[in-house]
Structure 1
């Protein structure tokens, strides 16, 4: 079981379902959510500025199509800078897109370890547990 994971998605129902499935699968002790990439950056900044430096997300589930800052912009920022101290954190793209170009593009990011279609299931999390 992971200590802390982050789910970034602009759909509140997806976030709620993700939390329920992750809890049912005993996938993580704690789950933090963000509604877009910018909100995720704010949360990460809060974590980085907190005196408890040890508690960073071990895994990020990321939607691609979101307002304010989408998944690709978030990934670019995450990978372009040591500022967040998370560029070695694995990312799972969890999206409703089935565009082969998105799948191909995701392979250009070394920290993206999987590309999954929504909705998340217990079976998907069991599969990921076997990979981690």
Structure 2
């Protein structure tokens, strides 16, 4: 079981369902959420500068691509920069409601993306990811 994961998605219902499925699967002890890429980067900045001692480094990120304010691709472009060196080894799972072949190709250009899956998160998906992460 992972200690903590971060889910970045603008849909509160998706986040709620994701938390329930992750909890039911005993996939992670704690699920933290961000509603867009900017909010997620703020989380990492707070972690980086030690503003809040309760903030911990997630072991995995679930990332939606289409969000207002800052979408998934823009988040990734910032996240892989040297500003986030101590975090950009965290594996990312892209979760999207559409599997666009162009997005699949683009995802291959980001070494931190370990998989590209279709929403919603399911128990079977988490079982698959457990096996993938452990191997």
Per the shorter chain, which TM-score range? over 0.9
- Paired residue for 2:44? 44
> Structure 2 stretches of 5 or more lacking a match?
none
Distance 1:14 1:83 in 2: 27
Moved more, 15-24 or 73-82: 73-82
Alignment partner, residue 32 of structure 2? 32
Q: Please tell me whether the aligned partners of residues 18 and 120 of structure 1 are also in contact (alpha carbons under 8 angstroms).
A: yes
How far, CA to CA, are the matches of 2:69 and 2:53 in structure 1? 29
Q: How does 1:1-132 map to 2 (within 5 A)?
A: 1-50=1-50, 52=53, 55-83=56-84, 85-132=86-133
Other structure's SS at 1:127 match = helix
Report how far residue 20 of structure 1 moved: 0.2
Gaps of 5+ in 1: none
| TM-score, length-scaled by structure 2 | 0.92
Q: Which moved more, 1:12-21 or 1:95-104?
A: 95-104
Q: CA deviation at 1:84?
A: 5.4
Take 2:71 and 2:106, find their aligned partners in 1: how far apart are those partners? 14
Q: CA deviation at 1:83?
A: 3.0
Deviation of 1:10 (Å) = 0.3
Task: Kindly report the root-mean-square deviation, in angstroms, between the aligned alpha carbons of the 2 structures.
Answer: 1.6
Instruction: Indicate how the Cα distance of structure 1 residues 60 and 108 shifts in structure 2: closer, same or farther if over 3 A, else same.
Output: same
Aligned residues: 132
**Once the 2 structures are TM-superposed, how far is the Cα of residue 49 of structure 1 from its aligned partner?**
2.4
